[in-house]
């Protein structure tokens, strides 16, 4: 298994500002992902955070808006840039287990962002 810690757990932000969310895993993991969960909706994959290289973004998400870093096998950050009220969501970090079991994703508790 893997235990994920996310910071901040929640924040209220002003329109036009940027916020960086940190994700720390308690063990080295192969794959890390960032999901968005908009109010009352399901999870949407933003990107796969690749260690030592640029993240792989899903359709509809771009690096300029959601820059991602992954400097090592236990840590990643997601920045939400130039925020607007439409960015109000829960952002979830997830990872595969240390053994890399297919599809067994572990999730952090999420970072709830409210943009005014």
Partner 1 sequence: AQSVTQPDIHITVSEGASLELRCNYSYGATPYLFWYVQSPGQGLQLLLKYFSGDTLVQGIKGFEAEFKRSQSSFNLRKPSVHWSDAAEYFCAVGAAGTASKLTFGTGTRLQVTL
Is residue 33 classed as helix, strand or coil in its secondary structure? strand
- Near partner 1 by CB under 8 A: residue from 13, 43, 73, 98: 43
Is residue 95 within 8 A of residue 2, CB to CB? The reply is yes
Determine, following the binding rule CB under 8 A, whether residue 96 of this chain makes contact with partner 1: yes
Task: Compare residues 44 and 81 and give the one whose CB is closer to partner 1.
Answer: 44
Task: Compare residues 43 and 98 and give the one whose CB is closer to partner 1.
Answer: 43
Separation CA 60–CA 31 (nearest Å): 21
Is residue 87 classed as helix, strand or coil in its secondary structure? helix
Q: Write down the residue that tokens 């940190």 correspond to.
A: 22
- Near partner 1 by CB under 8 A: residue from 14, 52, 86, 102: 102
By the criterion CB under 8 A, which residues form the site for partner 1? Answer: 4, 31, 33, 41-45, 48, 92, 94, 96, 102-110
């Amino acid at each position: 298994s893997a235990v994920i810690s996310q910071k901040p757990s929640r924040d209220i932000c002003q329109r036009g500002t940027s916020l960086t969310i940190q994700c720390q895993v308690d063990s080295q993991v192969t794959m890390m992902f960032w999901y968005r969960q908009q109010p009352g909706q399901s999870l949407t994959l933003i990107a796969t955070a690749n260690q030592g290289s640029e993240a792989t973004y899903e359709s509809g998400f771009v690096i300029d808006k959601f820059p991602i870093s992954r400097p090592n096998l236990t840590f990643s950050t997601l920045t939400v840039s130039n925020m607007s009220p439409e960015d109000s969501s829960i952002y979830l970090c997830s990872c595969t287990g240390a053994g890399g079991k297919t599809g067994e994703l572990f999730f952090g508790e999420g970072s709830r962002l409210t943009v005014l």
